[in-house]
A and B are shown apart, each in its own frame.
Chain A
Amino acid sequence: MRRLTLNVAALAVLVVTIFPVYWMFLTAFKPTRDIQARTPSFWPASPTLEHFVTAVNAPGFWTYWRNSLLVTVVAVLLALVVALLAAFAVTRMRWRGRGAFVVMVFAAQMAPWEALLVPVFIIARDTELLDSLAMLTGVYFMITLPFTIVTLRGFLAAIPLELEEAAQVDGCSRLVAFRRVVFPLLAPGLMATSLFGFITAWNEFAFVNVLIIKEQDQRTLPVWLSSFRDVFGTDWGATMAAAGLFALPALLLFLFLQRKVGVGMTAGAVKG
Chain B
Amino acid sequence: MRNRSLWPYLLIAPTVAGGAFLLLYPMLKAALISLQHFRMGELIRGGAEFIGFGNYAELLAGAEFWQVVLRTLVWTAINVVLIVVLSTGIALMLVRLRRGMRLALMSALALAWATPVIAATTVFQWLFQSELGVVNWLLASLGFESFRGYTWFADGTATFAVLVILVVWQSVPFAALTLYAGLTTIPGELYESARIDGGTGWQVFWRVTLPMLRQLFALIVSLEVIWVAKCFPQIWVLSQGGPDDATTTLPVYAFKIARVLHRYDLGSAVALLTVVLLAVALIANLRRMVRS
Q: Do chains A and B touch in the complex (CB under 8 A)?
A: yes
What string of 1s and 0s marks CB contacts (under 8 Å) between B11-50 and chain A? 1101100110111011101100100000000010000000
Among B8, B131, B180, the residue within 8 A (CB) of A95 is B8
Q: Establish whether residues A24 and B123, one from each chain, have CB atoms under 8 Å apart when the complex forms.
A: yes
The minimal Cβ–Cβ distance linking A191 to chain B, given in whole angstroms, is 7
Q: Which residues of A contact B242 (CB under 8 A)?
A: none
Q: Establish whether residues A107 and B291, one from each chain, have CB atoms under 8 Å apart when the complex forms.
A: no
> Would you call B272 an interface residue if the criterion is a C-beta within 8 Å of the partner chain's C-beta atoms?
yes
Please, how many angstroms separate the alpha-carbon atoms of A99 and B25 in the complex?
A: 22
The minimal Cβ–Cβ distance linking B83 to chain A, given in whole angstroms, is 13
What string of 1s and 0s marks CB contacts (under 8 Å) between B101-143 and chain A? 1011111111111111111101110110001101001000000
For B120, give the chain A residue with the smallest CB separation.
A20
Q: Which residues of A contact B8 (CB under 8 A)?
A: 89, 93, 95, 98
The minimal Cβ–Cβ distance linking A144 to chain B, given in whole angstroms, is 11
Q: Establish whether residues B289 and A102, one from each chain, have CB atoms under 8 Å apart when the complex forms.
A: yes
Q: How many residues of B contact A (CB 8 A)?
A: 98
Q: Establish whether residues A17 and B109, one from each chain, have CB atoms under 8 Å apart when the complex forms.
A: yes
> Would you call A59 an interface residue if the criterion is a C-beta within 8 Å of the partner chain's C-beta atoms?
no
For A185, give the chain B residue with the smallest CB separation.
B185
For A236, give the chain B residue with the smallest CB separation.
B122
Q: Establish whether residues A85 and B11, one from each chain, have CB atoms under 8 Å apart when the complex forms.
A: yes
Main secondary structure of the interface of B (DSSP, over half): helix
The minimal Cβ–Cβ distance linking A69 to chain B, given in whole angstroms, is 15
Q: Establish whether residues A20 and B93, one from each chain, have CB atoms under 8 Å apart when the complex forms.
A: no
Please, how many angstroms separate the alpha-carbon atoms of A77 and B122 in the complex?
A: 31
Among B15, B219, B279, the residue within 8 A (CB) of A110 is B279
For B184, give the chain A residue with the smallest CB separation.
A267
Q: Which residues of A contact B30 (CB under 8 A)?
A: 112, 115-116, 118-119
Among B115, B255, B291, the residue within 8 A (CB) of A24 is B115
State the total of A-B contacts with C-beta under 8 angstroms: 269
* Given A147-B223, A199-B113, A203-B117, A23 contacting B134 (CB threshold 8 A): yes
Please, how many angstroms separate the alpha-carbon atoms of A115 and B264 in the complex?
A: 8
Among B18, B180, B254, B290, the residue within 8 A (CB) of A103 is B290
The minimal Cβ–Cβ distance linking B126 to chain A, given in whole angstroms, is 7
Q: Which residues of B contact A255 (CB under 8 A)?
A: 107, 110
23 interchain pairs (CB within 8 A)?
A7-B97, A13-B93, A16-B169, A24-B119, A88-B11, A89-B7, A93-B11, A99-B290, A102-B290, A112-B272, A114-B255, A115-B254, A116-B30, A139-B22, A141-B22, A142-B23, A149-B15, A185-B185, A192-B178, A203-B116, A205-B118, A247-B116, A258-B103
Given contacts A10-B105, A90-B12, A270-B187, 15 further A-B contacts (CB under 8 A): A7-B97, A17-B111, A17-B169, A89-B12, A106-B222, A110-B278, A112-B254, A142-B23, A155-B185, A192-B174, A199-B114, A247-B115, A254-B107, A264-B99, A270-B185
7 A-B pairs with least C-beta separation: A115-B271, A243-B119, A250-B114, A119-B29, A188-B181, A89-B11, A112-B271
Query: Which residue numbers of A lie inside 8 Å of B, CB to CB?
Result: 6-7, 9-10, 13-14, 16-18, 20-21, 23-24, 27, 36-40, 82-83, 85-86, 88-90, 93, 95, 98-112, 114-120, 122-123, 138-139, 141-142, 145, 147, 149-151, 154-155, 157-159, 185, 188-189, 191-192, 195-196, 199, 203, 205, 222, 225-226, 234, 236, 239-240, 243-244, 246-247, 250-251, 254-255, 258, 263-264, 266-267, 270-271
Query: Which residue numbers of B lie inside 8 Å of A, CB to CB?
Result: 5, 7-9, 11-12, 14-15, 18-19, 21-23, 25-27, 29-30, 33, 43, 90, 93, 96-97, 99, 101, 103-120, 122-124, 126-127, 131-132, 134, 137, 169, 172-174, 177-178, 180-182, 184-185, 187-189, 212, 215-216, 219, 222-223, 226, 230, 232, 251, 254-255, 258-259, 264, 267-268, 270-272, 274-275, 278-279, 282, 285-286, 289-292
